[in-house]
Amino acid sequence: MNQKPARERTRRFATKVFLKRYAERYLPRDPQLALALERMGLGKRRLLLITNSEWFYTDALCSYLFNGVVPGLKDWRELFDLVVVSAGKPGFFRRHAPFVELDAEGREVVEVKVQ
């Protein structure tokens, strides 16, 4: 049995835990990034965040990068109309799978119909 995929997943997970813990050391906070995202979402445009990362990692890094950097922005999720985590790109764009709403802790709440 090939253990390489399991080892690779473990390594990636460990890297995410490390970056989550030491985000301030490796990721500069830039209010201009949040402002640029706000501008992109103006008008009739929809702003989506689609990532292969798990909720715990996405929430931690986006909270660090965006929360409190711009007056009036309390929660990074306000920047996006839709956030998709654990997307499994590129297959995400080719398959029809259910969307599941998550609560603030990343627990499943309800399946969501998307049209």
Return the CATH number at 41: 3.40.50.1000
Report yes or no on 90 lying in a domain: yes
Q: What is the pLDDT of residues 39-48, one digit of tens each?
A: 998 888 899 9
Question: What is the pLDDT at residue 87?
Answer: 92
Q: How many domains does the chain have?
A: 1
> In the structure encoding, which two tokens stand for residue 101, read together?
């709403």
From residue 15, give the alpha-carbon distance in Å to each of 12, 21, 37, 74: 5, 10, 26, 27
Q: Is residue 98 reached through a cis peptide bond, with omega within 30 degrees of 0 on the bond before it?
A: no
Report yes or no on 62 lying in a domain: yes
- Give the pTM: 0.78
Q: How big is the CA angle at 4 (ends 106 and 50), to the nearest 5 degrees? A: 35
Q: What is the pLDDT of residues 42-93, one digit of tens each?
A: 888 899 999 999 999 999 999 999 999 989 889 999 999 999 999 989 888 8
CA neighbor of 69 nearest in space, from 58, 56, 78: 78
